[in-house]
């Protein structure tokens, strides 16, 4: 059983970046809910979201929740801003390139770029709260620039958010060797048991 913690960035009184008629908090929530829904097709995975609606949470509340729950992996979902275009992701800056967190970043990055077809800004490191204060492997994904007209136009379409979410899930499937629930094992007899799936919040 693997425990995946999904953190939709911002929320409530904190909209995150705002541009082109979009608020970051709304888009991060939409992507995160799609990740949750797609992950529920797999067995032996538990999912917890820091929020599943528009509400205010401090960064400490988010990492505390993930730590107490005992997540195996934390994904903090964000949009970028400040002039640029495309996708990048971050892990904690004191981790080596050979760390397990960096190896997971390699896979997540490849799958999200492949599925979303965004400009590749690279795999990065930073001293962000969500990465530093979480006890487990963690990644922060920056899924396009809200202040770029072309990125924003795509972020307004459900199909693009679906692709971003699917990219995250494809990465998780590779990293944790997730298998679809209720499928017949290869060459096997019968049907595998569905995994326990927990929705909270
Ligand atoms: Zn953000």
- All structural domains of the chain: 2-180 (3.40.630.40)
Q: How far is the CA of 114 from the centre of ligand 1 (A)?
A: 22
CA distance 4 to 108: 14
162 is catalytic: no
Please give the distance, rounded to the nearest whole angstrom, from the Cα atom of residue 195 to the centre of ligand 1: 32
* Alpha-carbon gap, residue 39 to 43, rounded angstroms: 9
From first CA to last CA, the distance across the chain in angstroms is 20
Q: How many CB atoms neighbour CB 8 within 10 A?
A: 30
What is d(CA 126, CA 83) in angstroms, rounded to the nearest whole number?
A: 19
pLDDT in tens, the chain (201 residues): 999 999 999 999 999 999 999 999 999 999 999 999 999 999 999 999 999 999 999 999 999 999 999 999 999 999 999 999 999 999 999 999 999 999 999 999 999 999 999 999 999 999 999 999 999 999 999 999 999 999 999 999 999 999 999 999 999 999 999 999 876 555 443 333 343 344 444
Q: Which of 142, 162, 186, 196 is catalytic?
A: 142
Tell me, what's the pLDDT at 183? 61
Check if the beta carbon of residue 131 is closer than 8 Å to that of residue 140: yes
CA of 11 to the centre of ligand 1 (A): 10
Residues 6 or more apart whose CB falls under 8 angstroms from that of 134 comprise 63, 66, 67, 71, 74
Residues whose CB is less than 8 angstroms from the CB of residue 148 and which lie 6 or more positions away in sequence, other chains included: 83, 84, 85
The tokens 């799958």 sit on which residue? 111
Task: Give 45 Cα–ligand 1 centroid separation in angstroms.
Answer: 26
Question: Encoding tokens for residue 163?
Answer: 């692709």
Residue linked to tokens 């059983």:
1
Cβ distance 179 to 192 under 8 Å? yes
pLDDT of residue 96: 98
Task: For residues 59 and 44, give the distance between their C-alpha atoms in angstroms, rounded to a whole number.
Answer: 28
The whole-number pLDDT of residue 182 equals: 76
Give the model's pLDDT for residue 193: 39
Nearest in space to 155 (alpha carbons), one of 116, 114, 200: 116
Encoded tokens for 124: 């990065």
């Amino acid at each position: 059983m693997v425990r995946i913690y999904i953190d939709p960035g911002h929320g409530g009184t904190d909209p995150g970046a705002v541009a082109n008629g979009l608020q970051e908090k709304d888009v991060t929530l939409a992507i995160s809910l799609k990740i949750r829904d797609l992950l529920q097709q797999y067995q032996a995975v538990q999912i917890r979201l820091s929020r599943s609606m528009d509400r205010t949470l401090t960064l400490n509340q988010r990492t505390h929740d993930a730590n107490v729950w005992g997540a195996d992996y934390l994904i903090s979902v964000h949009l970028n801003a400040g002039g640029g275009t495309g996708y990048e992701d971050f892990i904690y800056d004191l981790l080596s390139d050979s760390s397990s967190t960096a190896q997971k970043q390699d896979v997540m990055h490849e799958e999200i770029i492949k599925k979303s077809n965004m400009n590749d800004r690279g795999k990065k490191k930073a001293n962000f709260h969500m990465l530093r204060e979480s006890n487990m492997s963690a990644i922060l994904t920056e899924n396009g620039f809200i202040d770029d007209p072309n990125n924003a136009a795509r972020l307004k379409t459900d199909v693009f958010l679906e692709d971003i979410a699917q990219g995250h899930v494809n990465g998780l499937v590779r990293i944790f060797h997730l298998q679809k629930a209720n499928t017949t094992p290869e060459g096997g007899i019968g049907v595998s048991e569905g995994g326990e799936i927990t929705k909270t919040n």
